[in-house]
């Protein structure tokens, strides 16, 4: 039917025997409403020759997405909050930001009284600003995430508010999620989200409010899909030795297989330095135009040995790959 579209996002899923699982849509057929999804899990080498089950319990689709936009909120009009609610920081589903740990250690904090305002954001119907004010010298902005028409709770609606000053500097908030039992008492839940900005509230006119990555899924389906099959290691591969100094990372060998390219080498310093250097490593295959859209990951082992993997959106034809360019340097496979 029409359950699936190109925005499909698996919610509860797993591959037995793996961890660090991720996924993304690599193809979508609009005529048949069929999505092809790539799953990536760590620990695959232990599964060679074994039967493995893949499970999917739920997924989201029909997503709306709103990237960076000016909220239009007039920051200079924000006043000291007069009515507040106490929030038990040990009875919330979560939050984050620089102040989160210190706020949680306080036990109870003051937040804005919900639903004193109803300011829309970028014409989005799934969220609105329900209050704005200053509490204890900090700027608070409260969002209310709306329930779906079918009465189901929001599963993964989310977004991010931040401030930008006149020089273009960005300021991120601390956030907390909560629900409301009645007009004046909070409870565990995620219907509301309070953003807390630790900025100079006497200079609010210097800031503008922006939003980014606001996403809502209209469709959430639960089920119990699964399949079991035997996993076999990739055998069709090529490997060549080399000596490339990429500025902090020395590559000793390069291999290519249907599921991607692997660089084996040694890092000059710590894992942090390796991660920074990886951003400067550009891989391209002359015979494959869109390989730059691949996924990459990095691992660090003893003695600063590193493995950098580049995994394409679809399996590679190893036979047609004769050369791989690494930062413009050609590595030839014979």
pLDDT tens across 109-146, in order?
999 999 999 999 988 989 999 999 999 999 999 999 98
274 confidence band (pLDDT: 50, 70, 90): very low
pLDDT at 183: 75
- % of the chain beyond a pLDDT of 90: 51
Which has the closest alpha carbon to 245: 268, 262, 261? Answer: 268
Q: Of the ranges 94-103, 207-216, 280-289, which one carries the lowest mean pLDDT score?
A: 280-289
Angstrom distance (rounded) from CA 170 to CA 228:
48
Run of H or E including 209: strand 207-230
Longest dimension (CA), the chain: 75
Total-model pTM: 0.73
Run of H or E including 214: strand 207-230
pLDDT at 95: 94
pLDDT at 188: 94
Classify residue 172 as exposed, middle or buried by CB count within 10 Å of its CB (0-12, 13-18, 19+).
middle
Between residues 167 and 151, the one the model is more confident about: 167
Question: Phi/psi at 28 (nearest 5 deg)?
Answer: -145, 130
Give 3-state DSSP helix, strand, coil % of the chain, rounded to 5.
Answer: 10, 55, 35
pLDDT at 116: 93
- Tell me: the pLDDT tens digits for 153-192? 678 899 999 999 989 999 999 999 999 988 788 999 989 9
pLDDT at 303 over 80: no
List beta partners, residue 307. 264, 299
pLDDT at 20: 84
């Amino acid at each position: 039917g029409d359950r699936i579209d190109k925005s499909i996002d698996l919610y509860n899923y797993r591959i037995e025997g793996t961890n660090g699982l991720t996924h993304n849509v690599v193809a979508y057929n609009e005529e048949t409403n069929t999505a092809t999804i790539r799953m990536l899990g760590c620990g695959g080498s232990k599964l060679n020759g074994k039967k493995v089950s893949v499970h999917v319990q739920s997924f989201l689709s029909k997503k709306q997405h709103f990237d960076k936009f000016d909220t239009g909120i007039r920051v200079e009009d924000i006043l000291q909050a007069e009515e507040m609610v106490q929030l038990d920081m040990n009875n919330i589903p979560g939050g984050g930001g620089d102040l989160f740990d210190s706020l949680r250690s306080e036990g109870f904090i003051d937040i804005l009284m919900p639903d004193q305002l109803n300011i829309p954001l970028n014409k989005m119907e799934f969220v609105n600003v329900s209050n704005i004010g200053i509490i204890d010298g900090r700027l608070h902005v409260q969002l209310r995430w709306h329930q779906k028409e079918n009465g189901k709770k929001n599963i993964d609606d989310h977004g991010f508010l931040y401030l930008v000053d006149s020089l273009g500097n960005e300021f991120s908030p601390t956030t907390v999620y909560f629900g409301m039992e009645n007009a004046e008492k909070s409870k565990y839940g995620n219907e509301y989200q309070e953003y807390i900005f630790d900025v100079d509230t006497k200079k609010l006119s210097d800031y503008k409010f922006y939003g980014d990555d606001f996403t809502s899924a209209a469709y959430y389906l639960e089920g119990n899909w699964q399949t079991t099959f035997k996993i076999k290691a990739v055998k069709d591969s090529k490997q060549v030795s080399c000596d490339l100094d990429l500025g902090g990372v020395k590559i000793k060998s390069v291999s290519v297989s249907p599921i991607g390219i692997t660089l084996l080498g040694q890092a000059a310093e710590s894992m942090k330095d390796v991660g920074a250097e990886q951003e400067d490593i550009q891989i391209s295959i002359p015979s494959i135009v869109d390989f730059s859209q691949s996924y990459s990951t990095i691992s660090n082992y003893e003695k600063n040995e590193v493995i950098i993997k580049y995994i394409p959106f679809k399996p590679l034809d190893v036979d047609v790959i004769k050369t791989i360019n690494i930062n413009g340097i050609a590595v030839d496979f014979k």
